[in-house]
Amino acid sequence: MRLSSLAALIGLLLANVIPIVGVFAFGWQALDLLLLYWLEAAVVGVFTVVRVLLAMGDPTDTGLGALFGFDRYTGPGAGTSNARFGAVALFCFQYGPLWVIHGAALFLLPGFAFEPLGWEPLAVLPTLLPAVGAMALSHGLSFGLGFLAGGAWERTAPVAQVFAVFPRLLVLHYAVLIGGFGAVTLGSPLFALVVLVVLKTVADVLVEYADPLLRAA
């Protein structure tokens, strides 16, 4: 692993250390973490749009280009404006509604609980914003060193970046379901919170470095 990839990995791990600090230093509960992860997903979405706009690789290398009509942009100049903006539209159309649904599930969860949870998302939100900012900086470090400095933007295709982010969204989906259920039934025990953070961290690293282009960066 090159220095740029190692630095990017450190940035990603730092982003995932923040929830642990919140649990031990500020007494965050499971629903607090899930709200933080939902906000982090918005940050990831913004960086994904930037990745798509900067990607210059050949869409046919992904095996997905033909399905979405990006295969006509081949060769060194494959990352044309049409390919990139088309991929951004595809991403927003798929990622945006899923992100909104997850947020709606979080904000409506207290109303569906059999017992009052005593959790007000809007009241908790301001306390999480500094953590969101710190996570954005960490993701920016990973983006700058792994994607830009590592040269992955020259080798990965716009459509590849669209689909690379969805495993992370799948992790968020199950985190909302399992974490929300655990918060209602178990009362957010410390060990469960730590397990949730560790599993999410492992999933993030696996998703980020499953792409051989990024591993080679």
- Kindly report, residue by residue over 146-156, the tens digit of the pLDDT: 788 877 777 77
CB 158 within 8 A of CB 84: yes
- Kindly report, residue by residue over 152-196, the tens digit of the pLDDT: 777 777 877 887 777 777 776 676 667 666 665 666 667 777 877
The predicted model gives 130-141 an average pLDDT of: 87
CB 64 within 8 A of CB 91: no
Q: Is 58 helix (H, G, I), strand (E, B) or coil?
A: coil
Quote the longest CA-to-CA distance of the chain.
59
* pLDDT confidence of residue 150: 74
Per the structure, how many domains does the chain have? 1
Token representation of residue 103:
């947020």
- Kindly report, residue by residue over 59-114, the tens digit of the pLDDT: 554 444 444 444 444 444 445 677 788 888 888 998 899 889 888 887 877 665 54
The predicted model gives 41-47 an average pLDDT of: 91
* pLDDT confidence of residue 43: 92
Q: What percent of the chain has pLDDT over 70?
A: 68
Residue 20 belongs to what domain range?
A: 3-215
> Whole-model pTM?
0.78
Q: Is 77 helix (H, G, I), strand (E, B) or coil?
A: coil
Token representation of residue 158:
């716009």
CB 117 within 8 A of CB 30: no
* pLDDT confidence of residue 161: 80
Nearest to 33 by CA among 45, 47, 17: 17
For the CA atoms of 28, 208, 145, 77, the dihedral, rounded to the nearest 10 degrees, stands at -140
DSSP code, position 73:
S
CB 164 within 8 A of CB 14: no
